[in-house]
Amino acid sequence: MALKRNALGRGLDSLFTMGDVQTGGSSAINEIDVNLIFPNPGQPRRTFDEETLEELASSVRELGIIQPLSLRDAGDGTYQIIAGERRWRAAKIAGLSSVPAYVRTVSDSEVTEMALIENIQREDLNAIEVALAFRKLIDTYNLTQDRLSERLGKKRATIANHLRLLKLPAEIQLGLRDHKLDMGHARALLSVSDPKRQLKLYNMILKEELSVRRVEELARSMEEESPNPPAKKGSGNDNGRFESFAKEIATYFPTPVKFARKSDGKGTITLKFASDDELQQIMDLLGKIKN
């Protein structure tokens, strides 16, 4: 098992030849009937854009399959895809009867490992698929984020940021998967603690086509206006005390008073006025307090 774990992250080619995970099968390229090939159920890639598949199919018609697929011999005359499902799908669309492939003999767990690493290293997945692939590698091999970072050659922050995406509401995860927003938008949404507010801001992104910077601004504003922010840990204060304080302040002013406090103890007191007369009343009252 130690050798197997050490193989993680060295690339798909090393997994085919390394120690205890050495795979059987010929290194020669074979022509395999497309109808004998089937997808890997553990494939991390879940969505295949029809438009890009058509574009790839057009290329396949002109040039054929440039990079051979990697297949697993299922032992019953059929083959399971380790790497190259997009190429296989495009070949079928293009009308090819066979595709070039390397045929390997590997276990179920090794197929899953190879598929995950191959897709991650090729950067061939959307952000949610990458996050799920990271999670599966961590759970399958009992890895820490630091260890996974070392083995994949990815920055730990990259892994952590992707894993945090899995905390977003399902609707937002689907939007990220379908490229309705990007990672910058998603990171800004993660700074909002309330899922309902996250969804509200997400719908604003879709409707108004907001920039990442604008979403960051709105996210900060939403957190500052949170009606019941948690008390700062170890401060000895509670929300009830601050709510009572806010109500008491409101009794001194003739206009609405908005009180907001964040989890770190910072906050704002906002005085609203509807006319010059109300503004003057506020200024007079503040002048009396100062004096």
- Residues designated catalytic: 85
CA gap 277, 283 in Å, rounded = 10
- CB-CB contact of 171 with 203 (8 Å): no
Q: Residue 245 corresponds to which tokens in the numbers above?
A: 């304080």
CA dihedral (228, 231, 237, 238) positive or negative:
positive
- CB-CB contact of 221 with 191 (8 Å): no
Q: Reduced to 3 states, what is the DSSP secondary structure of residue 258?
A: strand
Pairing label, strands 257-261, 267-271? antiparallel
Nearest to 206 by CA among 170, 222, 182: 182
Question: What does DSSP assign to residue 8?
Answer: T
Nearest to 256 by CA among 225, 278, 239: 278
